Each structure stands twice: as structure tokens, then as C-alpha cells.
């Protein structure tokens, strides 16, 4: 997966203070392979990887992040931007009703989506009407009626005798989807429904007749939105299908369905980039509530498969005091870390969340996590109390903390002498280990210079 590949590629970047061109090229190769594996279309991969390379080469070295994290951040930002940046809202008609037409292959999830969209609009105070224009498949009209009932939204359908809410007969008897669509919009206008959702027929594959019919429905109803509904599981085929619909019918937005499956989202990335149409909604199951507006940032972290790493990066950037970190790192490397620094570092790390979670987020930080698993927040509180009970001179030069000083500190901070001993021992041990670890991991990006 992309996440495995990136973790692999990024491991090599750890411990470096600055990205060289050959680091970037090597990482770009891994990203390229990973995207291809995630079913992203080749031309899209090319454009994407080029953008990453350009940005990584010009990147400022950040104080908060190490180089590996910086690459993840860039990849993520570019993914979000390629997926549309901000969430795009549905376009409403100036004069109601707003007409929303659904198009896509059979089985893409149009009828299911029609119900979800109707329920969602209803919750926002709209008064939607569903229109059943799939006259291809036997049972399709009935399926929409079941969906409508579940969503509590009326359905305009071609069968005679279909009635809704005591308004009498609704629908036409003709089997022409274009006429049904036109009739549905007229009915909505007359009966003051403010939104119309037109469900259309699909085929198993793209064909001329399907396209012609959908194009005719579009021409007859002049929709405010035409939503291309596409199954996220179909991978590469999404691009050819999307292109065919873009040429044959045209659409203003995309809906991704079946995101509850294990698809990594390559389809999303490709469709957005190839057609330029924004992704508006995401469907994540068969039930009415398995539906949400599309969030590019969430999709990006899904494609990247590194949601945890991304939130760690955010937290690190938010709380890391670059200058202080740099000073501390210099001291650590020189073996001159004081207890005051130790306390400050600890407080900074604590601001980022419980220490266990934090370390768990780092890819490949397994060993470090195990080593620190015993340290919990309540212990850290006591450590803090002990250090606060020391004089500035003791914090600056812990070697002077002799027996009588230890007793005084213990009494002052309400702990036993053995706890003070433990802390001081642990501090000297940590100072040694941190110096070694800084050498291995590279530490925060801005704190080390290239040699
Ligand atoms: P249409 O032919 O485009 O109208 O597709 P349908 O709405 O009839 O959906 C086809 C099948 O996919 C049905 O069995 C739906 O229950 C199922 N389906 C639709 N959307 C989703 C989704 O987001 N997740 C899952 N798991 N199934 C879905
Ligand atoms: Mg259908």
C-alpha cells in the first residue's frame, strides 16, 4: 500500500537534516509506484509526482518537522489540493425548484444516493421530490419508491395510480424517461417542492443509447447540478467512465460511492484530476445515513494511509517551539542538558497529548514506544513537582544534588527521597540516551545542520 511504501521510503530520510535532490528523487519514485498501486491513472500520477518534486526541492527546512515528516506534509497538501481543496457546496437555483440529476453506470449507487441526498436535504429544511426516470430496469421505479418512503420524501413516478400524501394522482403513464423528468419538475414547481432529484437509468457499460437518454433528460430539465455517481471500487475504469459521461452528458460534480469498501481512493484522485469536476458527496454504505459531504482532507489521509502521522505532524507544528527545541537539541548533543531543559522538553511534549499516543503515531517508533510505555502522565506530574522543588542552580547543574539537597527536595515536593534519587538517575540516563538517539533519528528538522 501507499502507506507501507511511504513508510519505507521515508525511513531512509530520517536522520537527515535536509533533503537532497537524490533523496527527493528516490522518494518520488516510491510515491509514484504507490499511487499506481492505489489505482491512480498514469497521467495523474505523473502530474502529481512532478508537483511533489518541485515543492520538496524548494521546501524551507521547518523547525518543527524532520525531513521525512516534511515530505509527508507536502504529499498530503498536494493530495488535498488535487482532490479539490475546500468542500464544494451544492448549487441552489435562484428560483426554486433546484434540479439535481444523477447519472452513472448501473449499480453505481444512484438510486441509493437519491434517497440519501433527499433525506439530507430534508434535514436542512428543504422540501425535496424524487423523480423516477429509470424505466430501463424492471423494479427500478419500485426501488426508488421504497427508498423515498424510508427517507420520508415523495416520489414522482410514471405508473398510473401512484399517489403521494393525498395529493391525488401523480405521474404520467408514458414510459418515456424524458417526459417523466419534465413532468416531475413541473409537478415540483406547481406543488412547491424546492428541490428535485432525478434518478436515471444506467447500463453495465457505457453505450450510446444510455448517453443519449441521459443527455435528453438533461436538456429537458436544465438541472442546476448533474452529479456523476461513481463506484470508488472500480479503480482505473473510473477514469474512462468519467470521461465518457463528461463528453456524452456533461456533469457539474461527482459523488463517490462504496467508500466503505477497501478501495484506497485512487478513483477519486483520478476522476477529479481528469475531469476537473469537484467531488461533492461520499457514500459509505447501504443505509440512508451512510452519507456525507466530501472532505478532501479526509480522502487525502485515506489515500495516504497515514492519518495518524498527519495528526502528529499537525500537533507537532502547533506546539513545537522551534527556538527552544533548537537550543535543547544543541545541549542534548553536547551532553549539557539541564533539568530545567528536561522539564521544558517534557512540558512541550505533554502539550502534544498523552505521551504514549504520541509515540504510537510515529511510523517505526515501535521500540521507542515500548521503552517509554511505562511512563504515564501521573508519573510525569510527580517528576514535574520534583523539578519545581529544586533551586535554579540545582536544575542547571544536577551534579550538585547531594544527599542533603535530595532530602530537602523530597520534603518540599511531597515525595520520598528514593523518588528524587530515581529522577536524578533517570535524568542522567536520559541525557545519555537522548544524545545517542538524536544522532540516530536526526531530531527535529531545523535543529541539525547538514555535514
Ligand atoms: P444504481 O443502479 O446506480 O441505481 O445503484 P443502486 O443505488 O441500486 O445500488 C446498487 C447496489 O449498491 C445496491 O445493492 C446498494 O445497496 C449498493 N450500494 C449503493 N451505495 C453503496 C455504498 O455506498 N456502500 C455499499 N456498501 N453499498 C452501496
Ligand atoms: Mg438505480
CATH code assigned at 336:
1.10.260.30
Q: What are phi and psi of 75, to 5 degrees?
A: -60, -45
CB 57 within 8 A of CB 6: no
Residue 60 Cα to ligand 2 midpoint, Å, equals: 50
Q: Do 107 and 136 share a domain, yes or no?
A: yes
Calculate the dihedral angle through the C-alpha atoms of 50, 55, 56, 62, rounding to the nearest 10 degrees.
Answer: -160
CATH code assigned at 227:
3.40.50.300
Q: Do 25 and 64 share a domain, yes or no?
A: yes
Q: Do 25 and 76 share a domain, yes or no?
A: yes
Q: Dihedral of CA 261/264/269/274: which sign?
A: negative
CA–CA separation, 81 and 278 (whole Å): 11
Check if 107 has its Cβ closer than 6 Å to any atom of ligand 1: yes
- Listed residue (151, 141, 193) closest to 171, CA to CA: 141
Q: Is 27 exposed, middle or buried (0-12, 13-18, 19+ CB in 10 A)?
A: buried
Structural domain includes residue 309: no
Structural domain includes residue 91: no
Q: Do 251 and 341 share a domain, yes or no?
A: no
Of 52, 86, 120, which residue sits at a domain end? 86
Q: Do 360 and 240 share a domain, yes or no?
A: no
Cell of 12: 531512509
Q: What is the pLDDT of residue 448?
A: 37
Cell of 283: 457514500
In this structure, the number of other CB atoms found within 10 A of the CB of residue 283 comes to 24
Cell of 58: 524548494
Best residue for ligand 1 mutational test, from 230, 286, 289, 291 (most atoms within 8 Å of Cβ): 286
Q: Do 377 and 240 share a domain, yes or no?
A: no
Question: Distance from CA of residue 245 to its chain's centroid?
Answer: 27
Q: Dihedral of CA 21/22/23/29: which sign?
A: positive
Residues of the chain with pLDDT under 70: 1-19, 60-68, 159-174, 305-335, 345-378, 430, 433-451
Q: What is the pLDDT of residue 62?
A: 63
446 annotated to a ligand binding site: no
Best residue for ligand 1 mutational test, from 104, 107, 245, 282 (most atoms within 8 Å of Cβ): 107
Q: Do 70 and 109 share a domain, yes or no?
A: no
Q: Dihedral of CA 204/209/215/216: which sign?
A: negative
Q: Looking at the predicted complex, does its ipTM rise above 0.95? A: yes
Check if 296 has its Cβ closer than 6 Å to any atom of ligand 1: no
Cell of 93: 437555483
The closest-lying atom of ligand 1 relative to the alpha carbon of residue 285 is 24
Q: What is the pLDDT of residue 128?
A: 98
Q: What are phi and psi of 442, to 5 degrees?
A: 90, -20
The closest-lying atom of ligand 1 relative to the alpha carbon of residue 291 is 23
CA–CA separation, 33 and 36 (whole Å): 5
Q: Do 51 and 200 share a domain, yes or no?
A: no
Residue 289 Cα to ligand 1 midpoint, Å, equals: 13
Q: What is the pLDDT of residue 282?
A: 92
Check if 218 has its Cβ closer than 6 Å to any atom of ligand 1: no
Structural domain includes residue 432: yes
108 annotated to a ligand binding site: yes
Check if 108 has its Cβ closer than 6 Å to any atom of ligand 1: yes
CA–CA separation, 355 and 302 (whole Å): 25
Q: What is the pLDDT of residue 146?
A: 96
CA–CA separation, 162 and 309 (whole Å): 54
107 annotated to a ligand binding site: yes
Structural domain includes residue 377: yes
Within 8 A by CB and 6+ apart from 324, the residues are: 344, 348
Check if 288 has its Cβ closer than 6 Å to any atom of ligand 1: no
Cite the DSSP H helix spans in 334-416.
Answer: 339-351, 355-361, 366-372, 377-388, 392-396, 403-413
Check if 110 has its Cβ closer than 6 Å to any atom of ligand 1: yes
Residue 363 Cα to ligand 2 midpoint, Å, equals: 43
Q: Do 80 and 177 share a domain, yes or no?
A: no
Residue 258 Cα to ligand 1 midpoint, Å, equals: 7
User: H or E segment at 256?
Assistant: strand 253-257
Of 54, 86, 118, which residue sits at a domain end? 86
- Does 97 sit behind a cis peptide bond, omega within 30 degrees of 0 on the bond before it? yes
Structural domain includes residue 354: yes
Residue 36 Cα to ligand 1 midpoint, Å, equals: 26
331 annotated to a ligand binding site: no
Check if 200 has its Cβ closer than 6 Å to any atom of ligand 1: no
Structural domain includes residue 428: yes
CA–CA separation, 154 and 313 (whole Å): 47
- Structurally, the chain folds into a number of domains equal to 3
Give the structural domain span for 252: 98-294
Cell of 423: 529522577
Q: Which ligand is nearest to the CA of 201?
A: 2
Q: Do 51 and 129 share a domain, yes or no?
A: no
- Listed residue (34, 69, 76) closest to 51, CA to CA: 76
Cell of 267: 478513483
Residue 112 Cα to ligand 2 midpoint, Å, equals: 7
105 annotated to a ligand binding site: yes
CA–CA separation, 266 and 238 (whole Å): 9
CATH code assigned at 64:
1.20.120.140
CB 152 within 8 A of CB 122: yes
Q: Do 247 and 345 share a domain, yes or no?
A: no
Structural domain includes residue 218: yes
Structural domain includes residue 301: no
Check if 104 has its Cβ closer than 6 Å to any atom of ligand 1: yes
Q: What is the pLDDT of residue 257?
A: 94
Residue nearest to atom 16 of ligand 1 (CA): 286
Q: Do 248 and 386 share a domain, yes or no?
A: no
Q: What is the pLDDT of residue 60?
A: 67
Amino acid at each position: 500500500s501507499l502507506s507501507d511504501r511511504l513508510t519505507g521510503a521515508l525511513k531512509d530520510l530520517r536522520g537527515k537534516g535536509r533533503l537532497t535532490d537524490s533523496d527527493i528523487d528516490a522518494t518520488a519514485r516510491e510515491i509514484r509506484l504507490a499511487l499506481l498501486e492505489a489505482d491512480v491513472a498514469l497521467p495523474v500520477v505523473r502530474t502529481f509526482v512532478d508537483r511533489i518534486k518541485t515543492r520538496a526541492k524548494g521546501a524551507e527546512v521547518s523547525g518543527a518537522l524532520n525531513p521525512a515528516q516534511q515530505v509527508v506534509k507536502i504529499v498530503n497538501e498536494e493530495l488535498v489540493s488535487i482532490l479539490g481543496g475546500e468542500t464544494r457546496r451544492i448549487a441552489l437555483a435562484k428560483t426554486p425548484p433546484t434540479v439535481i440529476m444523477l447519472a452513472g453506470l448501473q449499480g453505481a449507487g444512484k438510486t441509493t444516493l437519491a434517497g440519501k441526498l433527499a433525506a439530507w436535504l430534508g434535514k436542512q429544511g428543504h422540501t425535496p421530490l424524487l423523480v423516477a426516470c429509470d424505466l430501463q430496469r424492471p423494479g427500478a421505479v419500485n426501488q426508488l419508491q421504497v427508498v423515498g418512503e424510508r427517507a420520508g420524501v415523495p416520489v414522482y413516478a410514471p405508473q398510473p395510480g401512484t399517489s403521494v400524501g393525498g395529493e391525488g394522482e401523480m405521474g404520467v403513464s408514458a414510459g418515456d424517461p424524458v417526459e417523466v423528468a419534465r413532468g416531475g419538475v413541473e409537478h415540483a414547481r406547481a406543488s412547491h417542492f424546492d428541490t428535485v432529484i432525478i434518478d436515471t437509468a444506467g447500463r453495465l457499460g457505457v453505450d450510446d443509447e444510455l448517453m443519449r437518454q441521459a443527455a435528453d433528460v438533461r436538456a429537458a430539465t436544465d438541472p442546476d447540478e448533474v452529479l456523476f455517481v461513481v463506484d470508488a471500487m472500480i479503480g482505473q475504469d473510473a477514469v474512462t467512465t468519467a470521461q465518457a459521461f463528461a463528453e456524452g452528458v456533461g456533469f457539474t460534480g461527482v459523488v463517490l460511492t462504496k467508500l466503505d469498501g477497501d478501495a484506497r481512493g485512487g478513483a477519486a484522485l483520478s476522476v477529479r484530476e481528469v475531469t476537473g469536476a469537484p467531488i461533492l458527496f461520499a457514500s459509505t454504505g447501504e443505509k440512508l445515513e451512510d452519507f456525507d459531504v466530501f472532505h478532501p482532507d479526509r480522502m487525502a489521509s485515506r489515500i495516504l494511509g497515514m492519518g495518524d502521522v498527519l495528526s502528529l505532524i499537525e500537533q507537532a507544528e502547533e506546539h513545537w517551539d522551534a527556538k527552544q527545541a533548537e537550543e535543547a537539541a544543541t545541549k542534548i548533543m553536547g551532553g549539557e542538558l539541564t533539568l530545567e531543559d528536561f522539564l521544558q522538553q517534557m512540558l512541550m511534549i505533554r502539550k502534544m497529548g498523552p505521551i504514549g499516543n504520541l509515540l504510537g503515531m510515529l511510523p517505526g517508533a515501535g521500540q521507542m514506544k515500548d521503552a517509554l510505555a511505562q511512563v504515564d502522565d501521573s508519573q510525569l506530574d510527580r517528576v514535574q513537582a520534583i523539578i519545581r522543588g529544586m533551586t535554579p542552580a540545582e536544575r542547571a547543574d544536577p551534579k550538585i544534588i547531594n544527599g542533603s539537597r535530595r532530602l530537602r527536595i523530597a520534603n518540599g515536593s511531597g515525595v520520598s527521597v528514593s523518588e528524587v534519587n530515581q529522577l536524578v538517575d533517570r535524568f542522567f540516563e536520559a541525557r545519555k540516551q537522548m544524545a545517542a538517539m538524536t544522532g540516530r533519528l536526526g531530531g527535529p528538522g531545523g535543529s541539525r545542520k547538514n555535514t
